[in-house]
Amino acid sequence: MQKEVTMEYLIINGERVKVDECNIFEKIKNSPIYEVVRVIEGKEQFINDHIERMFSSFKLLNYHNQYTQEEIISFARICIEANNILDNNIKLLAVELENNEKVFMVYPIESYYPPDEVYKEGIKTILFKHTRTNPNAKVQQLDYKTSVTKAIKDSQSYEALLINEEGYILEGSRSNLFYVIENNVFTAPASKVLLGITRKHIINLIKDLGLNLIEKELHVDDLKDVDGIFVSGTSIGVLPIKFVDNIIIDSADNDLIVKILREYNKITGKILG
């Protein structure tokens, strides 16, 4: 596994270790179970939700984890303090090494947050054929990550929307998907996607706003009927889509999406625009 730490220290089983003095990434043998947590103004966002989801992944994959939720939160805070992190993402990683030793790591990773104008215009996306074998478990699949990252880069897009064998678009490669038809907001059924933390808070927000939320898959042939579409995620919040391949959708000007974006940013304390 490639070393991806971007600052001076990583935390291994609660202990601060200098990146330059560590070769642990070379010893990782299996696909890690992980979470990415956003840090804003030095404070971790929705970390309890992330850790609860991580524990669900442990259960789904029969992974024996030796640490409590409180201990993992303390590891994250040690990482934030050691690296003086203000605004950046940190990664929580549960791995098994070549000698079958289980290790829990926390470290800062390269982070990109879209500029304000992207939220006002919308992003370019592509369709990418892929079906997750265990959609509710957050596991790092290196071959898939490499191929989808290349497809996004080659097409000069921001995100890839995953389309399964039946032609349904369920989620993004690193995001959840919502779409609007008339006055209804739709998202894929929970059993068929990774249950994103941002997705959870957006669903609660939609209900609090009195909007109608429906869990329903979006078929590629029905893109022509969509009034607006957006992706959600830890780094991006609520991000409107303008292009799906060559299909243009004026999502950034859709009244419902604008309202959801504005209200979600109030929740996180980050006002865009």
Q: Which of 1-15, 126-140, 154-168 has the highest mean pLDDT?
A: 154-168
Tell whether 158 and 264 lie within a shared domain.
Answer: yes
How confident is the model at residue 196, as a pLDDT?
92
Residue 3 domain-assigned (yes or no) = no
Tell whether 92 and 129 lie within a shared domain.
Answer: no
The token duo for 199 is 């997705």
How confident is the model at residue 161, as a pLDDT?
96
Tell whether 104 and 125 lie within a shared domain.
Answer: no
Residue 1 domain-assigned (yes or no) = no
Domain boundary among 92, 109, 126: 109
User: What is the CATH classification number for the domain harbouring 143?
Assistant: 3.20.10.10
Tell whether 53 and 157 lie within a shared domain.
Answer: no
Domain boundary among 77, 109, 141: 109
Sorting pLDDT into bands at 50, 70 and 90, what band is 268? Answer: confident
Sorting pLDDT into bands at 50, 70 and 90, what band is 81? Answer: very high
Residue 22 domain-assigned (yes or no) = yes
The answer to pTM > 0.85 is no
Instruction: Reply yes or no on whether the pLDDT at 142 is more than 90.
Output: no
Q: What is the pLDDT of residues 183-236, one digit of tens each?
A: 999 999 999 998 899 999 999 999 999 999 999 999 999 999 999 999 999 999
d(CA 18, CA 257): 43
Let me know how many helices (H) and strands (E) the chain has, helices first. 6, 16
DSSP state of 97: B
Domain boundary among 109, 130, 147: 109
Tell whether 87 and 125 lie within a shared domain.
Answer: no
Run of H or E residues at 59: helix 47-60
Residue 273 domain-assigned (yes or no) = no
Residue 243 domain-assigned (yes or no) = yes
d(CA 78, CA 135): 31
How confident is the model at residue 1, as a pLDDT?
61
Sorting pLDDT into bands at 50, 70 and 90, what band is 134? Answer: low
Sorting pLDDT into bands at 50, 70 and 90, what band is 31? Answer: confident
User: Which range of residues forms the domain containing residue 70?
Assistant: 9-109
Cβ atoms of 225 and 103 closer than 8 Å: no
Mean pLDDT of the region 17-31: 89
Mean pLDDT of the region 15-43: 91
Residue 124 domain-assigned (yes or no) = yes
Mean pLDDT of the region 14-41: 91
Cβ atoms of 220 and 169 closer than 8 Å: yes
d(CA 80, CA 83): 6
Tell whether 39 and 122 lie within a shared domain.
Answer: no
User: What is the CATH classification number for the domain harbouring 21?
Assistant: 3.30.470.10
Tell whether 238 and 254 lie within a shared domain.
Answer: yes
Least trusted range by pLDDT, from 6-10, 133-137, 232-236: 133-137
Tell whether 148 and 24 lie within a shared domain.
Answer: no
How confident is the model at residue 140, as a pLDDT?
62
Q: How many CB atoms lie within 10 A of CB 247?
A: 15
How confident is the model at residue 273, as a pLDDT?
37
Residue 228, Cβ density class (10 Å: 0-12 exposed, 13-18 middle, ≥19 buried): buried
Residue 156, Cβ density class (10 Å: 0-12 exposed, 13-18 middle, ≥19 buried): exposed
Tell whether 212 and 125 lie within a shared domain.
Answer: yes
If you search the block for the tokens 């369920």, which residue do you land on? 170
Domain count, the chain: 2
Residue 62 domain-assigned (yes or no) = yes
Residue 4 domain-assigned (yes or no) = no
Tell whether 139 and 222 lie within a shared domain.
Answer: yes
